[in-house]
Amino acid sequence: MLFTGLVSRSLLSGSAVNPLPLSSTVLRLLHIKNKPMSTTENKPLLQNALDAMADGNLTPLFEAMADDMKWRWMGTGQWSHSFNGKDAVINELFASVDQTLAEDFKIIVHHIVAEGDYVVVEHSGRNATPDGKRYDNNYCWVCRFGGGKLREIREYMDTRLVTEVFGIDERV
């Protein structure tokens, strides 16, 4: 058997340091698992999620998220907020979208720029509230990937428009 690397047994079991040989296959798998995704992997992953969103399907976006992801509405006013964890993003942020926007919400992607673990998306929403009030906002998402999953979204938007359309944020 050919061994190409050693790892301390204490790293694996907490026992005293005693080198444990690792095969070249295991070393390659460890390297692949911990290797950052590239621009060519992150950008299409997000593009697929946005294309599905444009068709009213949020599943690819949710599947791309890490369990511990964070979604932040940037700014300093009443609409600045963080959703910590995938469950909060789905059950708080997107549950409110279901309540505040008409069923056929629309997004239009203008630009996607990617470098390393980051993908930046400029897009617009062309939407209405259930009572017919227009809500046409512009967004910039700065998305960070890690380990093949979406780890963070920093969302920039016109918060004055949000207040004009939706009023005071009741969470504040």
Question: Does the residue 171 lie in any domain?
Answer: no
Q: For 40-61, how does the pLDDT look when each residue is reduced to its tens digit (9 = 90+)?
A: 889 999 999 999 988 889 999 9
Q: For 111-168, how does the pLDDT look when each residue is reduced to its tens digit (9 = 90+)?
A: 999 999 999 999 999 999 999 999 999 999 999 999 999 999 999 999 889 989 988 7
In this prediction, residue 67 carries a pLDDT of 97
Question: Does the residue 172 lie in any domain?
Answer: no
Q: Do 18 and 59 belong to one domain?
A: no
- Residue 34 pLDDT > 70, yes or no? no
Contact (CB, 8 A) for 87 and 68: no
Rounded CA gap, 128 and 11, in Å?
A: 55
Q: Do 86 and 52 belong to one domain?
A: yes
Q: Do 43 and 30 belong to one domain?
A: no
Handedness of CA 84, 71, 157, 109 (dihedral sign): negative
Domain with residue 154: its CATH number is 3.10.450.50
Counting Cα atoms < 13 Å in the Cβ hemisphere of 36 gives 10
High-pLDDT (> 90) share of the chain, %: 54
Q: Residues 49-78, buried b or exposed e (16+ Cβ, 10 A)?
A: bbebbeeeeeebbeebbbeebbbbbbeeee
Q: Which domain holds residue 20?
A: 3-34
- Residue 74 pLDDT > 70, yes or no? yes
Question: Does the residue 20 lie in any domain?
Answer: yes
Number of domains composing the chain = 2
In this prediction, residue 106 carries a pLDDT of 87
In this prediction, residue 20 carries a pLDDT of 45
Neighbours of 121 (CB within 10 A): 23
